[in-house]
Amino acid sequence: MELDLLPLNLPGVPDQRPLVIAGPCSAETEEQVMSAARQLSHNGIKIFRAGIWKPRTKPGGFEGNGEKALPWLQRVKAETGMLTSTEVATPHHVEAALKGGVDLLWIGARTSANPFAVQDIADALRGVDVPVLVKNPVNPDLELWIGGMQRINGAGIKRLAAIHRGFTTYDKTIYRNLPMWHVPIELRRRMPGLPIFCDPSHIGGRRELVAPLSQQAMDLGFDGLIIESHCNPDAAWSDAKQQVTPDVLSFILDKLVVRSVSDSTESLKSLRQQIDELDNDLIQQLSKRMRISREIAQYKKDHNVAVVQTGRYNEILDKRGAQGVLCGMSSDFMKAIFEAIHAESVRQQIEIINK
């Protein structure tokens, strides 16, 4: 089912890449919300985020201030003119947020993994015109993500966007949530008119990763970024490690290199195709080389010659090293490659000799 979309058309927000949504993970206190909002607005941010209903993995943590925080968001809007956004997970949240004047709603990753919950939210949105952003489900299931957006769209929400926030993994990695970029890239291919935001804060889980992930998102042609920003990140009540100050956020945004979409996605695609073909050639050539190496092994076996002949090995390393340097690669790289090729070659020769 195709999505029936309209441009996000956000009042007061210039239509440029990236569209930036920024603000704290959670609305903690009115003062914390206001100080983040004032600094962000002073730095040119036009859309404010703050979670007021927080889905926490375990009970007992800070689960958000709930409706009590809605007037704080109203104050943000009144004093700074920024649009406000928050996460909704139930029809009650939708109703309260709309009544409280929140301008954009997003559906969190845990909620979008549950079709019943998304359908309940969609039903609560029927007849309302509000932009809705749907985060990817925690598991890398593109169909479920698309299905969630179809449910919201089916309720008449045409100002719709996706947020890529990475995918849960059990393995230890440098990321909090694996980016698995191919998933949003495939989403772009399937739903070309759908704006896609990247959430480098929840992908990275660490503030040092916010800048490189944001750049990667721009290089892949994403439309927007949603970034967690707090005036005193280390003291944040949730997601302290991944939040950046409003000034650091401005620094990150200033440094972003934003190329035109046609440049980044189209030429990237064709460059990647070339890389795929070259890798294919490399594998074919390596396999041919191994075949010849096995023939040599047969000869060595028939003539009782030792497998490794140091003179020949050194000659290969020296010659290939020099050739590689002439072609613009480092001699260390060439050495590593040819040592690995030689090791595999010796392994295959020993197999033949011991047959």
Binding interface with ligand PEP (CB under 6 A): 25, 51, 55, 87, 108-109, 135, 165, 199, 202
Q: Which is nearer to Mn ion, 41 or 243 (CB)?
A: 243
- Residue 108's binding partner among Mn ion, ligand PEP, none (Cβ under 5 to 8 angstroms by kind) is ligand PEP
DSSP assignment string, 196-243:
EEE-HHHHH-SGGGHHHHHHHHHHTT--EEEEEB-SSGGG-SS-GGG-
- Residue 109's binding partner among ligand PEP, Mn ion, none (Cβ under 5 to 8 angstroms by kind) is ligand PEP
Of 305, 285, 283, give the one whose Cα is nearest residue 349: 305
Angle at 17 between CA 276 and CA 150, to 5 degrees: 75
Tell me the HSE value of 80 on the side-chain side, using a 13 A CA sphere.
25
Sole residue written with tokens 């003539």? 303
SS3 276: helix
SS3 164: strand
Q: Which is nearer to ligand PEP, 199 or 223 (CB)?
A: 199
Q: Which is nearer to ligand PEP, 53 or 338 (CB)?
A: 53
Q: What minimum distance in Å lies between the beta carbon of 128 and ligand PEP?
A: 21
Q: What minimum distance in Å lies between the beta carbon of 337 and ligand PEP?
A: 40
Nearest residue relative to ligand PEP (C-beta): 108
H helices of the chain, in order, are 30-42, 70-80, 91-99, 109-112, 115-125, 142-154, 182-190, 200-204, 210-219, 246-255, 261, 268-303, 310-326, 331-353
d(CA 303, CA 291): 19
Q: What minimum distance in Å lies between the beta carbon of 176 and ligand PEP?
A: 9
Q: And the tokens for 30?
A: 């009115």
Q: Which is nearer to ligand PEP, 28 or 87 (CB)?
A: 87
Q: What minimum distance in Å lies between the beta carbon of 24 and ligand PEP?
A: 9
Q: Which is nearer to ligand PEP, 41 or 242 (CB)?
A: 242
Interface positions with Mn ion (CB under 5 A): 25, 239
Pairing state of beta strands 47-49 and 19-23? parallel
Q: What minimum distance in Å lies between the beta carbon of 203 and Mn ion?
A: 11
Q: Which is nearer to ligand PEP, 134 or 297 (CB)?
A: 134
- Residue 195's binding partner among Mn ion, ligand PEP, none (Cβ under 5 to 8 angstroms by kind) is none
Nearest residue relative to Mn ion (C-beta): 25
Distance of CA 10 to the CA centre of its chain: 23
Q: What minimum distance in Å lies between the beta carbon of 87 and ligand PEP?
A: 6
- Residue 46's binding partner among Mn ion, ligand PEP, none (Cβ under 5 to 8 angstroms by kind) is none
Residues 213, 219: contact at Cβ < 8 Å?
no
- Residue 165's binding partner among ligand PEP, Mn ion, none (Cβ under 5 to 8 angstroms by kind) is ligand PEP
Q: Which is nearer to Mn ion, 240 or 337 (CB)?
A: 240
Q: Which is nearer to Mn ion, 103 or 239 (CB)?
A: 239
Angle at 162 between CA 220 and CA 212, to 5 degrees: 35
Q: What minimum distance in Å lies between the beta carbon of 50 and ligand PEP?
A: 9
Q: Please, which residues have CB within 8 angstroms of residue 238's CB and are 6 or more apart in sequence?
A: 25, 26, 51, 54, 56, 61, 62
Q: What minimum distance in Å lies between the beta carbon of 324 and ligand PEP?
A: 44
Of 232, 191, 235, 198, give the one whose Cα is nearest residue 215: 198
- Residue 223's binding partner among ligand PEP, Mn ion, none (Cβ under 5 to 8 angstroms by kind) is none
